[in-house]
Structure 1
Amino acid sequence: MKTMKCNAVLFVSMIALVLSSCTKDSDVEVPSAKKTIFAENFDDSNLATTGWSSFAQIGTKLWSQGSYNNDGYAQFSSYQSGQPVNVSWLISPPINMDAQEGEKLFFQSCQDGFVRNIDNSIELYVSTDYDGVSFNNAGWEKVSFTFPTQNTKKYVYVDSGIIDLSSYRGTLYFAFKVKGTSSLTGGYQVDNVRVFY
């Protein structure tokens, strides 16, 4: 009887995980800007149709699109991957950095409350020599931002802060890199991405 109760609680928890989102797009205050040159709320059902790509660097798990109450987001979890480590990248569409000056990036991210290991992480990188195809031939520079940790309240967006991209020229890609270990039973979500000046 006790085992059945535990299994029922686990099942309900996992359903809540799948059906939960951080917050609706309409609840988000995006920083003021002269002009927004790129916006992504992940409301399309397929990441690839809006120009995003996912690359599995270690393991086979990829980013996917999720939705709760008609609010879309990009998500990643190693849950039930059967692999000790997964490292997956979500790569943006190209951004032309020569058409304007003073570009900045803003987004929100959250964790689902089941991220309990400091070896599990979300990071941000940028590249100006990625060709949109050959991931391993590109140079990726790590960029600092405010991110959710295992201590962050679950399903609550954390603002990235205003990330200055103005020193980059040419075609820029930015990417979210998540590392998940076998102890990761939850995941991360990203939403409300803006590039503006």
Structure 2
Amino acid sequence: MKKIFNFLFTTTILLSLMTSCISDDDYVIPPVRIPFFQEDFETATNNTNLDLTDWTNFAEEGTWLWREKTFGGNGYAEFSAFGSGSASNLVWLVSPSIDLNGYSSPVLKFSVAQHHLDVDSPDNSLEVLISTDYDGTNVLAATWTAVNANIPNSTISWYQFVKSTVALPSTNGNIHIAFKFKGSGTNTALDGAFQVDNILLYNEN
């Protein structure tokens, strides 16, 4: 009888402790964020210049453009300066116009990987910028503002995608998002590549 009592007492204490560790917050289901813009490049045709509808693919310096790539059934955008033959490649990939009207807390998410990035240098880099006045044609005439993105550096393993989450300013208008690559096709220390995938925007609230 004493053994039964001890067992029941111990079980009651354990259940009490387990219950006290569970708060109401543990049962809160996080809200589902429905993107109002999304591009996963799953329609990519491997090793072709990127020509998705309403995207701008523009070479400010050099002649090569962003490429559509696929690997293991996954599509993404890539620019590699290796073999381009240009001393400087400065190339823009600009999204279609994205309407932010009615979104009080817009958030941008995307993933980026690097490969063959030998040094961390502004001469072999990827910037992410936004514009509220790009006319869809003249990239250099627009005002571009850099955002604080999580871009992989040379210490990150090749082809390992890292994620960025960027809170965007609320605006009653349209924006474009640009991925601006810089590298060299003649300097082997500056011919690394960047890959971009899974771009989406949603409202935090």
Counterpart residue number, 1:106 = 109
Counterpart residue number, 1:77 = 80
Partners in 1 of 2:145 and 2:75 — Cα distance?
28
Q: TM-score, normalised by structure 1?
A: 0.78
Counterpart residue number, 1:138 = 142
Shift of 1:166: 3.3
Partners in 2 of 1:144 and 1:121 — Cα distance?
14
Q: Which amino acid aligns with 1:139?
A: T
Question: Which of the two has higher C-alpha Rg?
Answer: 2
Partners in 2 of 1:165 and 1:67 — Cα distance?
29
Shift of 1:33: 4.8
Which of 137, 158, 175 pairs up with 1:154?
Answer: 158
Counterpart residue number, 1:44 = 43
Q: Does 1:192 align with 2:198?
A: yes
On the 8 A contact 2:100/2:170 being kept in 1, the answer is no
Partners in 2 of 1:32 and 1:173 — Cα distance?
27
Partners in 1 of 2:181 and 2:138 — Cα distance?
19
Partners in 2 of 1:186 and 1:142 — Cα distance?
21
Partners in 2 of 1:153 and 1:93 — Cα distance?
31
Distance change >3 Å, CA 33–CA 143, structure 1 → 2: farther
Q: TM-score, normalised by structure 2?
A: 0.75
Q: Which runs of 5+ in 1 are unaligned?
A: 1-30
Distance change >3 Å, CA 41–CA 32, structure 1 → 2: farther
Distance change >3 Å, CA 191–CA 165, structure 1 → 2: same
Shift of 1:42: 0.5
Q: How does 1:1-197 map to 2 (within 5 A)?
A: 33-45=32-44, 47-112=50-115, 114-117=116-119, 118=121, 119-160=123-164, 162-181=165-184, 182-183=187-188, 184-197=190-203
Distance change >3 Å, CA 67–CA 107, structure 1 → 2: same
Q: Which amino acid aligns with 1:38?
A: F
Partners in 2 of 1:41 and 1:146 — Cα distance?
18
Give the match's secondary structure for 1:136: helix
Give the match's secondary structure for 1:36: coil
Partners in 2 of 1:37 and 1:48 — Cα distance?
21
Shift of 1:83: 1.0
On the 8 A contact 1:33/1:196 being kept in 2, the answer is no
Give the match's secondary structure for 2:160: coil
Count of paired positions: 165
Runs of 4+ in 1 over 6 A off after TM superposition: none
